[in-house]
Structure 1
Amino acid sequence: MLLLQTAFVLSCIGAFRDPVPHRIPLAITVPTTQIADDAFYQLALLPGEPVNPLRVTDEAAAVDQIHSRQVDGALVLSRSGNEDLLLVAGGAGPLLAKELATHVIVSERRQGRTVRVQDVVPIAPGDKRLLSSFSLVVGWCFGGILCGSVQAWGAGRRPAGSRASVTTGVLLTYSVVAGLLGSLVARTLLNAVPGEFWALWALGSLLVLAVGALTFALYELAGALGIGLALLLVVVLGVPSSGGVYPTELLPTFWRAVGPSLPPGAGVDAVRSIAYFHGAGAGGPLRALSAWAAGCAAVILLSGGLASRVRPPAPQTGRRP
């Protein structure tokens, strides 16, 4: 436990101590070739590559790419005059929008231009800094670990032949109820996380199932050590790299690389897609969670079947006639 605690402190501090933007995708409209080229190259040559500029035809195309989560913002260059328009998406992360605006403003000043910032995907009043969305995901992950750990604790009391099927059934039932209750609290009771209720419920159920199945599958493979491995993946590595505190584009290389593939990161990304982008961009995170759930469920079922085959017969205590 001390090792996990120390590792969690190390992971959090390592991820959060120096947030630096890295290649934030930004659409740039093309009113005239000269202006577009100047803006494009000024942004592309910023030290550290904080912005990844991409050309689009007009403002409508730029807005469409923001809402489809292909880019995190758009610089709409003025056809006449020196004042441009920067479109940002607070729903993708307010810190991300702030960093994007900071670097665009610096680049525009170098060209003698000014920029006006407009948020086209504002955050819901009850989801300041997207902390309600992040808290919902953390709660679901905690529930999955708790359910998987309880199942592991009771696994030795069940017959080997039925352990896998009973555990899978309990995990499925718990996941559905946990997804429902989390959505009711966050979406209906507190009105903190917007988006389609049924989509949030389905996502929560899948996330809880993935984390619960991961916890029990690692227990089946490594015993009590497996619970620690689950905590390492989900809490120690998963929470700091999830993008819930700092957006993924602001994290150091290691956390930026592992975050989207771990359950917390996939959950945070999917919740934001459902809450603020009508589900756009949720496909990748949902596939990642489905892979975790299906792969770990397969491990549980296979290990349960193997255990029932290799378990020795009960000793005969009665006398022979």
Structure 2
Amino acid sequence: MTSRPPRASSAAGGRSAAVRTAVALGLVLFAQAMLALSLVSAQQLLVPRNMPFGVVGPPSPVVAAVASRTGLALTAYPDTSAVTGAAEQGELYGAYVSGGSSDTLIVVPAKSFFGQTEVEPAFLAAAHDLGRPVTVQTIAPLAATDPVGAVTSLLLLPLLIGGYLAAVLVYKAAHGTAAAPWRAVILAGYALVGAVLTDLIAGLGIGAYSSSHFWPLLPCFWLVTSAVALAAAALQAMVGRMGTLLVAVLFIVIGGPPAGGLGTYLLPVYWRNIGVLLPPQSAVTLINHVLYFGGSDISTPLVVLFLYAFAGTAVIAWYGRIRPARAAAREAHGAAPAAPAAAPPDRRRGLIPILVALGVCAVMQCLFATNYMSASHAPKATDLPFGTVGTSPVLAAAEQAISLKVTPYPDEAAAKTAMDQARIFGALVSTGTSNTLIVVPSMSDLAPLDLAVRFEAAAKATGQTLTVQQYAPTPLAPKDPFGLVQGLMLVPLLIGGYMSSTLLMAATGRAAGRWRAAQLAGFALVSGLLIDVIVCYWLQGFPSGKFWITWPICALIVAVVAFVAAILQKLLGPVGTLVTVVVIVLFGNPSSGGASGVPYLPAFWRDIGPWLPPRNGYLLLHRTIYFDGHGTGQALTTLLVYLGVAAAVLIVLDLRRPEAAVPVDATEAASMAVPIGATP
């Protein structure tokens, strides 16, 4: 009879552990689904939608032809001076001036580089068809250090993550006290430090923008980080531990994708309207207009960000000082017997954990600023694989402007076979009297435009004729015209991998266990299926014929990251999660190459990418979907080696390295894991 209670207790404990495990993994699946849905739906189809565009002069058939198939919101201006002034203040994405012997197309690259690439060719083609001569005038050109307008989005990453992590880590360091009389001061103080560090790294260090912008941008950075940090602390004060998750969902999972770094009016309308209410979009507008438009038209983003900062400060003050003071006053009037005075807390001892937490946050913010900015702010091709058929002076002239790794082919069919196998990004076919540049849009979102611009200039310089032709072995999906989806869906796969291991550690109190490898593998299968269903069928991000082959690839990526995280957590405890984030997200993700392609990465990032899971995961996804699996052997082998070695090491460590319970709660683990890598 004495043996039954222990068995019952053991069974109850087993059921409780199973419930905690199921809840933890369910939370990860929910976070992955939300992130995949938000990222892909917001950014997979970036085309003009009610884009502000100015017109001057009598009604033009050119404008009518373009407006009929492009989402432009036309506004008439009385003269060229008025429309130019509006463009210089960042109010317009472009303008068309008609009348007289020729027309003028005004483009504003700093407002949106990708918006320009949509609008300019459409107007030039329509003007050519209608026989209207047109000249192009550029207002607010992008800097040479920011050729595709990526700097604004890249600046948002460290500012957003820094503010969020500051609130989360200070909350944990203060043992769950979200509001205190000094909390707002500490967070605002850290925001200033983080702003200075980001400004120094991105501007003076990396040179992503000129040093003359250091001081104008500094208060902007301070305001953005303060708004996020103070609002996050306020939500923590109101709803406790779940406030950190709420902030992650509002500011990063939902707020990040519609930030509009590539152009607010390229976003779906509902995402643009959601973004208006949250700090990231206001932050992007503020930084962009200070950087390129002299600080004009920034009243709305300033109001939004100050409202978040002031509201956060007010809530912190209420919960940290005003409400406790009122409670103390009520107790004093109640004539209750005075309790013995407690010993005053040692503020110096309480301050040390907070300073350590902010130090960790500063390091993470610096890494985000350094890694993502250095990898992506100025993409420039190096040894871009390229084919040639025949000889032409155009190729030699183009190579003066773009670095190519040229391979000759006997005929056009052979060159297209190389494109089918993802070995070259394009080819020049010369017959002696004509030249045809063939580009492959499914290989890169940037290379086709880059090649076309360089070769058209070369053809003009050499007096040759040139025709540009697109070729895609598997056409891009209608809702993925720029080949962005694989890079976007990679983010929730990576985050789901280390979140699953982290939350299992939190739920069970141990970094590994007898069934940990099996649990992670099972989760990877379910997770991969979930992301596959959302992106393929719900969002139509890639052809449905690739659904079944994409599922095991998604599961493999999740499993590799989860197993690596489990090993690091086994060896290092909760710090292993932080190390995983640094390796996978802060070094792996920037080195993946993404939609632009590996040749557009700087040398350091090109060299480390093959050794890390994100590059191999992206190539495996992308080339399986759009190139029938060609060129995936190395990527697949690398991921399988990671998986096999990690599984073996995890099992050996669990058998030979007994461990004590790890005191980590699920909220802390999730708050650390959810936002990192959710790049806007």
Q: What TM-score results when the alignment is normalised by the length of structure 1?
A: 0.86
1:46 and 2:396 correspond? no
1:245: Cα distance to partner? 5.2
CA contact (8 A) 1:40 1:53 kept: no
CA distance in 2, matches of 1:109, 1:257: 36
Secondary structure at the counterpart of residue 631 of structure 2: coil
Secondary structure at the counterpart of residue 442 of structure 2: helix
Q: Which structure 2 residues correspond to residues 68-87 of structure 1 after superposition, within 5 A?
A: 68-79=421-432, 81=433, 83-87=434-438
1:139 and 2:489 correspond? no
1:248: Cα distance to partner? 1.6
CA contact (8 A) 2:436 2:467 kept: yes
1:152: Cα distance to partner? 2.7
User: Where does residue 151 of structure 1 map in the other structure?
Assistant: 504
Secondary structure at the counterpart of residue 130 of structure 1: coil
1:185 and 2:534 correspond? yes
1:108: Cα distance to partner? 3.2
CA contact (8 A) 1:206 1:289 kept: yes
User: Where does residue 456 of structure 2 map in the other structure?
Assistant: 105
CA distance in 1, matches of 2:513, 2:468: 55
Q: Provide Cα deviations, 1:15-68, integer angstroms capped at 9, x if missing partner.
A: 1222111011111012xxxx35x455545x525x61111100000000000010
Bigger radius of gyration among the two: 2
Residue 286 of structure 1 aligns to which amino acid in structure 2?
A: L
CA distance in 2, matches of 1:84, 1:12: 38
The alignment's C-alpha RMSD in Å is 2.1
Q: Which structure 2 residues correspond to residues 107-126 of structure 1 after superposition, within 5 A?
A: 107-121=458-472, 122-126=475-479
CA distance in 2, matches of 1:176, 1:237: 25
CA contact (8 A) 2:498 2:565 kept: yes
1:247: Cα distance to partner? 2.1
**Counterpart among 644, 653, 658 of residue 303 in structure 1:** 653
CA contact (8 A) 1:238 1:263 kept: yes
CA contact (8 A) 1:27 1:54 kept: yes
CA distance in 1, matches of 2:460, 2:611: 38
1:123: Cα distance to partner? 2.5
**Counterpart among 157, 160, 170 of residue 519 in structure 2:** 170
User: Where does residue 223 of structure 1 map in the other structure?
Assistant: 573
**Counterpart among 79, 84, 89 of residue 440 in structure 2:** 89
**Counterpart among 579, 583, 590 of residue 240 in structure 1:** 590
CA distance in 1, matches of 2:374, 2:366: 12
CA distance in 2, matches of 1:288, 1:39: 39
1:95: Cα distance to partner? 0.4
1:211: Cα distance to partner? 0.6
More displaced 10-residue stretch of structure 1: 96-105 or 231-240: 96-105
User: Where does residue 350 of structure 2 map in the other structure?
Assistant: none
CA distance in 2, matches of 1:196, 1:123: 12
**Counterpart among 482, 485, 493 of residue 129 in structure 1:** 482
**Counterpart among 42, 60, 63 of residue 416 in structure 2:** 63
User: Where does residue 265 of structure 1 map in the other structure?
Assistant: 615
1:26 and 2:386 correspond? yes
CA distance in 2, matches of 1:55, 1:165: 56
CA distance in 2, matches of 1:148, 1:114: 58
Choose between structure 1 and 2 for higher RCO, CA contacts under 8 A separated by at least 6 residues. Answer: 1
Secondary structure at the counterpart of residue 388 of structure 2: strand
User: Where does residue 640 of structure 2 map in the other structure?
Assistant: 290
CA distance in 2, matches of 1:286, 1:99: 30
1:154: Cα distance to partner? 4.0
- After superposition, the Cα gap between the structure-2 partners of 1:301 and 1:127, relative to the gap in structure 1 and judged at 3 Å, is same
User: Where does residue 314 of structure 1 map in the other structure?
Assistant: none
Instruction: For structure 1, list consecutive stretches of 5 or more residues without a partner in the other structure.
Output: 312-321
Q: What TM-score results when the alignment is normalised by the length of structure 2?
A: 0.42
Secondary structure at the counterpart of residue 651 of structure 2: helix
CA contact (8 A) 1:93 1:247 kept: yes
User: Where does residue 318 of structure 1 map in the other structure?
Assistant: none
Instruction: For structure 2, list consecutive stretches of 5 or more residues without a partner in the other structure.
Output: 1-359, 661-680
Secondary structure at the counterpart of residue 583 of structure 2: helix
Secondary structure at the counterpart of residue 503 of structure 2: helix
Residue 56 of structure 1 aligns to which amino acid in structure 2?
A: Y
CA contact (8 A) 1:151 1:216 kept: no
CA distance in 2, matches of 1:261, 1:105: 37
CA distance in 2, matches of 1:114, 1:94: 25
CA contact (8 A) 1:130 1:244 kept: no
Q: Which structure 2 residues correspond to residues 276-287 of structure 1 after superposition, within 5 A?
A: 276-287=626-637
1:275 and 2:630 correspond? no
Identity rate of aligned residues, in percent?
27
1:231: Cα distance to partner? 0.2
User: Where does residue 5 of structure 1 map in the other structure?
Assistant: 365
